Amino acid sequence: MSDQHPLEAIVYVSASVQPMGDGRLEALLVEARRLNLESGVTGALIYSDGVFMQYFEGEPGPMAQTYERIRKSRQHSRLVELMNEPIGAREFPDWHMALAQPSQSELLAISTANWVVEGARSRARASARSQGSGGLTLLRDFWRRRGSTG
């Protein structure tokens, strides 16, 4: 049920500094996948109309390095973290970075969901975590609906 090693997941939204045409997105994705393959990071990138939202997961060390790389990138700005927590198992074990380009309203719905579970250290939090937050549930549903393409 859970992986051998501790895992954590980070979710953020950010603004692209310039419109991401297919070429730019493709280049970003190729680089991200190459790096993630090396570091064992998996996840999903969502882009719509100047807004990125990314969910990525992996072991703590590689996650810290990846997050630093992402935060430093000049391809986006105004990064806002929505979630940064331990997880029991990977959501995207087969994707070193999946990509979706949903409608703006769909991205908005997922990103404005409740990502942070209230009541740190409480039992309620632990059980909410095992079920996934509202945001995670929406992200899962979104991915299930669209099928697994990348």
Ligand X SMILES: Cc1cc2nc3c(=O)[nH]c(=O)nc-3n(C[C@H](O)[C@H](O)[C@H](O)COP(=O)(O)O)c2cc1C
Q: What track of x and - describes contact with ligand X for positions 75 through 94 (by CB under 6 A)?
A: xx------------------
Q: Which helix (H) or strand (E) holds 1?
A: none
Shortest Å, Cβ 56 to ligand X: 5
Q: And the tokens for 80?
A: 């806002």
Scan residues 17-76 and list those touching ligand X (CB under 6 A): 28, 31-32, 35-36, 45, 52, 54, 56, 66, 69-70, 73-76
| N-terminal to C-terminal alpha carbon distance within the chain | 25
- In a 10 Å sphere around its CB, with 0-12 CB exposed, 13-18 middle and 19+ buried, how is residue 54 labelled? buried
Binding interface with ligand X (CB under 6 A): 28, 31-32, 35-36, 45, 52, 54, 56, 66, 69-70, 73-76, 97
